[in-house]
Chains A and B, each alone.
Chain A
Amino acid sequence: MKILIIGYGNPSRRDDGVGLAVVNGLRRRLGLPFLQDNDDGFADLGHDVDTLFVQQMMPELAETLACYDVVYFVDAHVGVYPELIRRTPLMPDPERAVVSHHVKPGELLDIARRLYGRAPAAELISIRGFDFNFGEQLSPSTAKAVAQVVDELWQRMQG
């Protein structure tokens, strides 16, 4: 089974970088080098478990998604959900994002299904962010949630 974890957000705005923190947490367990500032992970695809970090979703990512069986999207939420960690199963969704320059995960799955013949099973993992000021360090609560998500994903991969 091929698995892809996509973290997304802005790592220069503290907790908005949770996606990168989860991706690098998993890469540590996988024995892979961390993704650095200038590396989104595309050059390192091809393992059974792959990781990417992007600032925003763009349509061309759909072609990549179609190569996987399972995809986890990891992003920050700003408190719109009561849970510290919200797990949302995703289905292909044709609804267009209102902002023109990025697409939503569900829309990406829809593009993958329609144009590339396959949409993976997918889940969105939203981790509560508390501090979105300038900086690269996660707030303590978010950092704790990141560790929990890394554990959880790691266990799922082992299963």
Chain B
Amino acid sequence: MAQKIVIEPVTRIEGHAKVAVYINDSGTVERALLQVNEFRGFEKFCEGRLFFEMPQITERICGICPVSHHLASAKACDAILGVEPPRPASLLRELMHMGQVIQSHSMQVFELAGPDLLLGFDADPAVRNVVGLYQANPDLTVKAISLRKFGQEIIARLGGRRVHPNFAVPGGVNSALTPQDRDAILANVETMMSYVQDGIAVIKSWMEAHQSELEKFAVFSSGYLGMVSPDNAVELYDGELRLVDAQRRQLERFNGKDYLMYISERVEPWTYLKFPYYKKLGWPAGTYRVGPLGRLNTADKMATPLAQKEYETFQQLRNGQVVEGTLYYHYARLIEDLYAVERTRELLEDPDILSTDILQTGPVTNREGVGVIEAPRGTLWHHYWVNENGQLERVNLIVATGNNNYAMTRAVDSVAKTYVDGKNVTEGALNRIEAAIRAYDPCLSCSTHAVGQMPLEVVVYDGHGNEVNRISRGV
């Protein structure tokens, strides 16, 4: 008799999701789905607000990547004003963005994925958490927390608050950087760089020891999307978007404001989270991956020296071909973390960084505006339509986690088929399913713009919907 296994909610991600695993009569997995069952409707309730409020409103979507929404929103507002922020303002926005990338990536790798990687997928769930992590490796944990603190400090020094800062405004930013704040951040850059490098060494060591797992854990082909500089280096703040196929051939290179020409969103009845895809290839052939692995597969290089050196090692993993294994997201994330620290130093050493030329204002000039940024989890679009008074008539947000929706479902399906034995469902197998999702660092709060509780519950149903087994933790 067919069975259905439900993992609900998935833990150590932000938001509320469940995984349904369908088992056939012979006890093997037929299909697994990631279902996002929350809805908040930010796009709808922002209608009627004034556009210049949006950098403050939309950052409330999330407590972990508010800066991404804050900046993407400000960029969309720039477009409505039809102005280009002065160069110092763009540098300062990018600096805040680097702070967020550092705190978000460091938290994900060390505190959320770290327990799986360093304690093992099969470790007792009672210790497979950040407490277990600092029992096993206190030195690394202190460094991880320091990195988070460093990133948060950058955000706070610029925007007053560590979470939900008040900084970017249409046409620029609302305050300049002081020499004292610049020097205080700079004083820690070298140390933070060494901490990220220590983390990379740990991940590489883990990769060496877990080659077989890396090669079978949610490995699948897909397209990749990410922002690049004019010479195809990974770009996180501003640049064109590049879409490549599974053989790394460029499919498109376009200005993010034109995304509607290239990207569609598919709706499925079993989840609130939409599925963006590349129009020309259609659904589902046009699905792609974003985020650290997506960006590194899309680009040809990194723009800072230490990150570039690490990128060359990354490239050697598959002799220059795209790296498809989902667990490599963590390595890619730390390479970007290193880039973000290096880029922080570059920005702080730029002669314009202390300039007070930080705002270019103007009237509402355009009836719509698009802002694009590479959030830690991937490409983020904010698109606003306004009336002549600047009042929002329509809002469209395509969020990183949405871009990875199809990939996460494929990863869940792949891992379930590889590791789940329907006759003997183990905790380790279920944790691997969660780990496949966690590798993408999804923020379901962002992608559906809602928050949820995250205990884990696994329910096994037979083909008639009768519950035959239940595994719970943290409920």
Chain A residues close to B by CB (< 8 Å)? 37-40, 42, 54-56, 58-60, 62-63, 94, 96, 98-102, 107, 110-111, 114-116
A111 vs B163: C-alpha distance in the bound complex, in angstroms? 21
> How far apart are A65's CB and chain B's nearest CB, in angstroms?
12
Most buried by B among A55, A58, A63: A58
A100 vs B115: C-alpha distance in the bound complex, in angstroms? 13
Q: Which residues of A contact B455 (CB under 8 A)?
A: 98
Taking CB as reference atom, which chain A residue is nearest B438? A100
Question: When the two chains form the complex, which single residue of B107, B131, B166 contacts A94, counting CB atoms closer than 8 Å?
Answer: B131
> How far apart are B323's CB and chain A's nearest CB, in angstroms?
26
Most buried by B among A55, A56, A98, A107: A98
Taking CB as reference atom, which chain A residue is nearest B451? A99
> How far apart are B165's CB and chain A's nearest CB, in angstroms?
8
Chain B residues close to A by CB (< 8 Å)? 11-14, 63-64, 107, 111-112, 129-131, 134-135, 138, 141-142, 145-146, 148-149, 152, 156, 159-164, 166, 451, 453-455, 474
A152 vs B211: C-alpha distance in the bound complex, in angstroms? 59
5 cross-chain pairs, A with B, having the tightest CB-CB distances, nearest first: A38-B160, A60-B149, A94-B131, A96-B129, A101-B64
Q: Do A42 and B156 touch across chains, with their CB atoms under 8 A apart?
A: yes
A39 vs B453: C-alpha distance in the bound complex, in angstroms? 29
Q: Do B162 and A98 touch across chains, with their CB atoms under 8 A apart?
A: no
- Main secondary structure on A side of the interface with B: loop
Question: When the two chains form the complex, which single residue of B13, B141, B160, B162 contacts A37, counting CB atoms closer than 8 Å?
Answer: B160
Taking CB as reference atom, which chain B residue is nearest A95? B131
Most buried by B among A42, A96, A114: A96
Taking CB as reference atom, which chain B residue is nearest A99? B454
Sample of 20 more A-B contacts, CB < 8 Å, known A40-B162, A115-B141, A115-B145? A38-B166, A54-B163, A55-B63, A55-B163, A55-B164, A59-B111, A60-B145, A60-B149, A62-B145, A63-B149, A96-B130, A96-B131, A99-B14, A99-B451, A99-B453, A100-B14, A101-B63, A107-B131, A115-B138, A115-B142
Q: Do A37 and B166 touch across chains, with their CB atoms under 8 A apart?
A: yes
Q: Which residues of B contact A94 (CB under 8 A)?
A: 131
Q: Do A100 and B13 touch across chains, with their CB atoms under 8 A apart?
A: yes
A40 vs B131: C-alpha distance in the bound complex, in angstroms? 27
Q: Do A98 and B11 touch across chains, with their CB atoms under 8 A apart?
A: yes
A100 vs B107: C-alpha distance in the bound complex, in angstroms? 10
A98 vs B149: C-alpha distance in the bound complex, in angstroms? 21
A107 vs B145: C-alpha distance in the bound complex, in angstroms? 14
Taking CB as reference atom, which chain A residue is nearest B63? A101
> How far apart are B42's CB and chain A's nearest CB, in angstroms?
15
Q: Do A40 and B161 touch across chains, with their CB atoms under 8 A apart?
A: yes
Q: Which residues of B contact A55 (CB under 8 A)?
A: 63, 161, 163-164
Taking CB as reference atom, which chain B residue is nearest A40? B161
Most buried by A among B130, B134, B138, B146: B130
A63 vs B134: C-alpha distance in the bound complex, in angstroms? 14
Taking CB as reference atom, which chain A residue is nearest B141? A115
Q: Which residues of B contact A98 (CB under 8 A)?
A: 11, 453-455, 474
Q: Do A59 and B163 touch across chains, with their CB atoms under 8 A apart?
A: no
Q: Do A60 and B160 touch across chains, with their CB atoms under 8 A apart?
A: no
Q: Do B63 and A56 touch across chains, with their CB atoms under 8 A apart?
A: yes
Taking CB as reference atom, which chain B residue is nearest A64? B149
Q: Which residues of A contact B131 (CB under 8 A)?
A: 94, 96, 107, 110, 114
Q: Do B14 and A114 touch across chains, with their CB atoms under 8 A apart?
A: no
Taking CB as reference atom, which chain A residue is nearest B115? A96
Q: Do B152 and A58 touch across chains, with their CB atoms under 8 A apart?
A: yes
Q: Do B161 and A59 touch across chains, with their CB atoms under 8 A apart?
A: no
> How far apart are B14's CB and chain A's nearest CB, in angstroms?
5
A37 vs B166: C-alpha distance in the bound complex, in angstroms? 9
Q: Which residues of A contact B161 (CB under 8 A)?
A: 38, 40, 55
Q: Which residues of A contact B63 (CB under 8 A)?
A: 55-56, 101-102
Most buried by B among A62, A94, A99, A107: A99
Question: When the two chains form the complex, which single residue of A42, A100, A114 contacts B112, counting CB atoms closer than 8 Å?
Answer: A100
Most buried by A among B152, B163, B164: B163
> How far apart are B185's CB and chain A's nearest CB, in angstroms?
14
Q: Which residues of B contact A40 (CB under 8 A)?
A: 156, 160-162
Q: Which residues of A contact B14 (CB under 8 A)?
A: 99-101
Q: Which residues of A contact B163 (CB under 8 A)?
A: 54-56, 58
Q: Do A111 and B149 touch across chains, with their CB atoms under 8 A apart?
A: no
- Give 28 pairs: A residue, B residue, CB < 8 Å, sorted on A: A38-B160, A38-B166, A40-B161, A40-B162, A42-B156, A54-B162, A55-B63, A55-B161, A58-B163, A59-B107, A60-B145, A60-B146, A60-B152, A98-B455, A98-B474, A99-B14, A99-B453, A100-B13, A100-B14, A101-B14, A101-B64, A107-B131, A110-B131, A111-B134, A111-B145, A114-B138, A115-B134, A115-B138
